[in-house]
Amino acid sequence: MAVDVSLDGRAALVTGGASGIGRAAALRLAEAGARVAVMDLDEPRGLETVDLIRAVGGDAVLIVGDVSRDNEAKSAVNAVVEQFGRLDVLCNNAGIIRRRTVLTLTEEDWDRVMAVNVKSIFLMSRAAIPAMRGTAGRGSIINTGSGWGITGGADAVVYCASKAAVVNMTRAMAIDHGPEGIRVNAVSPGDTDTGMLRQEAHELGQAWADFESGSKERPLARLGQPRDIADAVLFLASDLSAWVTGANLVVDGGGLAG
């Protein structure tokens, strides 16, 4: 007997949807039947994501905006409700990384990473929750954390700090908004083959082949693919996780297992 994972009739907003995990999540939600708004500052690549969704028969729009600005977060949510008539799923995926220690990190970089990785979740969720209550009567918020929100990593102090904040914000939001029928969960990927990961290798002055080879040390012996994370997002967006909230789903090929 097949298990039907359907998001038919639902509307989703995915931040950072122009590439990597965000693009894969937007496409996966659309494949399950959701109408998807892709939010990103990168208009050309955002349009590519929209085209990919439409190519599989999905309904998608692009919202060009900065998730770290309150007025743009509100405008994005309003645009989704205007376009689709409701908002059921918010995937807070937008994120950036700076590979630095406290001695080499600039104050500007600290502020920007915290704005994109943490403040954006506050702003986007603050805009989305009333819309979820008003148009859907329920909702699922999925925040992108990281394995480095659970354990520390070298040369990544602000990224580790930001993702630890994401994981605990998720728990606090789940407590606050569970009585309203809004579930809040996090997905914490391990190393996943995205442009951001390749940027990390470049920042550290490492050849991509050498950087990638570290993936063989984890139990499943491979680098993650964006689709691996997108499948976890779909689970948390769907009714298969109807009694799951406040959870942090680690998707890392077993990297944190031991």
- By annotation, the residues acting in catalysis are 159
Residue type, 194: T
CA dist 224 and 141 (Å) reads 23
Per-residue tokens: 54: 């439409």
| Residue 242: DSSP 8-state | T
CA dist 249 and 117 (Å) reads 18
Q: Kindly report the backbone phi and psi dihedral angles of residue 95, in degrees, each rounded to the nearest multiple of 5, phi listed first.
A: -165, 155
Residue 78, C-beta contacts closer than 8 angstroms, at least 6 positions apart: none
Report H helices in 178-251.
195-203, 208-213, 226-237
Cβ count near 235 (within 10 Å): 18
CA dist 135 and 116 (Å) reads 27
